[in-house]
Amino acid sequence: MLMKTSRHMHTLDVATLAFRRRKYERIAPLLENAYGYPAWRQHLPPVDELVSTILSQSTTDTNRDMAFDGLKQAFFSWEAVRDAPLDDVIAVIRPAGLANQKGPRIQAALRYIAAHQGEISLDFLAEMDVPQAKDWLTQINGIGPKTAAIILLFAFNKPAFPVDTHVHRVSRRLGLIGQKTNAERAHLELEAIVPPDDYYSAHLNIIRHGRTICQARRPQCEACPLAAQCDYFTAQSDQIMGEEAL
């Protein structure tokens, strides 16, 4: 599996890749000690996962769930959502925010799936390998690497590593990815660094760590079990020591 992902890593040299894999090997047991090792479970059916992930963009989990539950209550099927007047869909998903963007995006995704598969189902992705499935999903307008990876990991238990804002921030601070690595490229780098069997647990644990300890504005470095392995903490400590020495 790592060989499949590493073919995309032409700008990450072998030594850097090996160094970051070793770093992850030191970080993984610390994450497990802090948060456990979540066993995979199917979260939502594939199409539900797609719609939920679109709704999750730039909002909270609570608001996403309100909008998703509203869709399920207001419409009896995804075909009904696809065929409903756009204004009706927008009104139902308004709690998730950006409803004027997300409503058309959801309907367009449902239409795309139906047009290419003859029904609104993503079950066929189970028979594809990860690169093929990612390529198919990202042909849908508004579906990027994160949404594709979420569908494949959470709905099918396929080895794809989703990178949300928490994963991107924490993995960059730790030094698992480069400081200038964008979120799209981070998917490829983390899939090459983290063993595929760990994708699910690492994704969930890094998110949890980002929400509770390694927050965006005020990371609680003094309480962080990963501090000894963290590039950000080391840099901050060196800066403080340098200022004290002046």
Residue range 156-206, pLDDT digits in tens: 999 999 999 999 999 999 999 999 999 999 999 999 999 999 999 999 999
Q: Where are the alpha helices (DSSP H) in the chain?
A: 2-6, 14-35, 46-56, 61-74, 78-83, 86-93, 99-117, 130-137, 145-150, 156, 165-174, 183-193, 199-212, 231-245
Inter-axis angle of helices 86-93 and 61-74, to 10 degrees? Answer: 140
Residue numbers in the chain where pLDDT is lower than 50: 1-10
Which pLDDT score is estimated for 10?
Answer: 45
Q: Report pTM.
A: 0.88
Q: Are 178 and 143 in contact (CB under 8 A)?
A: no
Which pLDDT score is estimated for 12?
Answer: 73
- Considering the domain 53-156, what is its CATH architecture? Orthogonal Bundle (1.10)
Cβ burial, residue 223 (10 Å; 0-12/13-18/19+): exposed
pLDDT tens sequence across 141-150: 989 999 999 9
Task: Locate the domains of the chain by residue range.
Answer: 2-40+163-212, 53-156
From the list 1, 36, 9, the residue with the least C-alpha distance to 202 is 36
